[in-house]
Every structure is written in C-alpha cells, then in structure tokens.
Amino acid sequence: MSYRKADSPASEDQIEQWLNSFDETELSRHGWSRFGIKECFERYEYIYNVTNSAVISLILYQILDSETLEIVFLATVPYARLTDSMRSLFAQLLQDHSGGQIWLECREDNVAAIQLYRKLGLKETGRRAKYYRDGTTAILFNF
C-alpha cells in the first residue's frame, strides 16, 4: 500500500525504523547521513510503501513548479530490494505527475537504479563528472 506525506505522514517510529535499516557507510557513499535524510522529511514531500506497518520504499521529492518535480532521495530497505516495491512506488509517482517533468540523479555505479529508471522510461540527459565526494560521476535522468 502506498501513501503520501500530505494524506498520511509516516510516524516518527516508522521513519526511524526505515532509517535504521540502512548502513551508515552505504548512505555516506551516496552523500547522505541518517540525520540529513531525517531533516528532509520536514522540507520535502514524500510517497512511501508500507508492508506490515513498516516503511519499505520511500521517495523524497520537491515540486519546483507546476510542471517540474525533482527527486531528492529514494531507497528501499535492503531486505526488500528484490521486490517490486520501488518500481510500483515510482510508477505511482510518474502517474500522479503525468504530463510534467521529473528529474533525478544517481551514481554511475548504481547499476540497479539505472536499470530501474530506464525500465520506467526515464532518459539520461547529462552527466556531472566527479560529482560525488569519492569522484564518481552523477548521471542525470529526466522523464
């Protein structure tokens, strides 16, 4: 089941449980920390999937204007990554924002994410060389 922040904000316990599912090293490799992500819940909109009252997949985004949405962060808890949770959540966001543009970026070495974005119809529109702290290039996608 998917929910939106505006309709049904995730509880503090759900957010903490979801954040605690991620290894801090993995988050920092992508330029994030648990604290940084937690702050985003106040500033940005989000959509999320829940299974057995636990948040499984989540997309944090901002609406830049009436036609443009930028995805700030998205992740599925490690134990559910081989499920269809993120694909269905992302498809819901695309449907909700149909007709508008959706932008996001990801590390060029995040093969699973790149495959998902392409499967959903996003197109690579550019690259930012050495964008991440470790020198990895960012790929820009647009729908």
Residue 16 belongs to a domain with what CATH number? 3.40.630.30
Cβ atoms of 106 and 138 within 8 Å: the answer is yes
Residue-level pLDDT at 114 = 96
Evaluate whether residue 136 is within a structural domain: no
Evaluate whether residue 34 is within a structural domain: yes
CA gap 62, 45 in Å, rounded: 6
Instruction: Count structural domains, the chain.
Output: 1
Evaluate whether residue 134 is within a structural domain: no
Residues 19-77 have pLDDT tens digits of 999 998 888 888 889 999 999 999 999 999 999 999 999 999 999 988 899 999 999 99
Partners of 73 in beta bridges:
60
pTM above threshold 0.85: yes
Q: Name the phi and psi angles at 46, rounded to 5.
A: -155, 160
Sheet holding 45-51, edge to edge: 2-4, 45-51, 54-65, 68-76, 101-107, 138-142, 123-128
Evaluate whether residue 126 is within a structural domain: no
Cβ atoms of 46 and 4 within 8 Å: the answer is yes
Evaluate whether residue 66 is within a structural domain: yes
- Host domain of residue 69: 2-103
Evaluate whether residue 116 is within a structural domain: no
Does residue 141 surpass a pLDDT of 90?
Answer: yes
CA gap 64, 136 in Å, rounded: 26
Evaluate whether residue 97 is within a structural domain: yes
Residues 25-37 have pLDDT tens digits of 888 888 889 999 9
Evaluate whether residue 115 is within a structural domain: no
